[in-house]
A and B are shown apart, each in its own frame.
Chain A
Amino acid sequence: MGVSRALGLVPSIVQPIATTNLAAPAASFDFQNIPMNSYSVYQLELVLRGTVAAVDTEFYVRFNGDSGANYSSMLTERNGAGGQYSSGSFSANQMHFGWFTSSSGPANIACQWSLKIVNPSGSFYKTVNVNGFDVSGGSAGDYVLHSGFGTWMNTSPINRITIYPGTGNIAAGSSCTLYGYRFP
Chain B
Amino acid sequence: MAFATVPVPGLMAMPVFCQLLVAPALSLSFDVPGGYQSLVIDLQIRNTWASNFSGFRVAFNGDLTAANYEFTRDSYDISGASISSFTANSIPSPGSIPGTTATANFVSQSTISIDRYSDTDFHKVGLATTGSQYLNSGAGIVVYNSMFRWKSTSAITSVTIYNTGGSSFVAGSYCSAYTVREA
Contact = CB atoms under 8 A, between A and B. Distances in A.
Interface of A: 1, 7-18, 31-35, 38, 40-41, 72-74, 76, 84-88, 90-91, 116, 118-119, 122-125, 127-129, 131, 147-151, 153, 155, 180-184
B1 A31 contact: yes
12 contacts: A15-B5, A74-B78, A84-B76, A86-B143, A90-B140, A119-B20, A124-B44, A149-B133, A149-B143, A151-B133, A181-B42, A181-B176
Nearest to A10: B12
Given A40-B18, A124-B107, A155-B105, A13 B178 contact: yes
B131 to A, nearest CB: 2
Interface string B1-45: 101111111111111001010000000000000000000001110
Interface of A, secondary structure class, is strand
Given A8-B10, A35-B3, A124 B172 contact: yes
B20 A122 contact: yes
Given A88-B78, A148-B131, A118 B109 contact: yes
Contacts of B109: 116, 118, 127-129, 149
Given A116-B42, A118-B42, A129-B129, A72 B141 contact: yes
B132 interface: yes
Given A73-B141, A125-B107, A127-B44, A118 B174 contact: yes
B8 A12 contact: yes
B7 A15 contact: yes
Given A13-B13, A183-B176, A90 B137 contact: yes
B78 A150 contact: no
B82 interface: yes
A153 B14 CA distance: 32
Contacts of A86: 76-82, 143
B118 to A, nearest CB: 17
Contacts, number: 160
B80 A13 contact: no
Contacts of B129: 129, 131, 147
A151 B106 contact: yes
Interface in B72-107: 76-82, 105-107
Contacts of A41: 42, 176
Contacts of A15: 5-8, 11
A74 B6 contact: no
A147 B44 CA distance: 18
Contacts of B107: 124-125, 127
Contacts of B6: 15
Contacts of A40: 18, 42, 174, 176
Contact of A129 (B20, B111, B140, B178): B111
A18 B136 contact: no
B145 interface: yes
Contact of A12 (B11, B132, B145): B11
A67 B86 CA distance: 41
B46 interface: yes
Contacts of A73: 141
A122 to B, nearest CB: 6
Contacts of B42: 40-41, 116, 118, 181
Contacts of A87: 78, 80
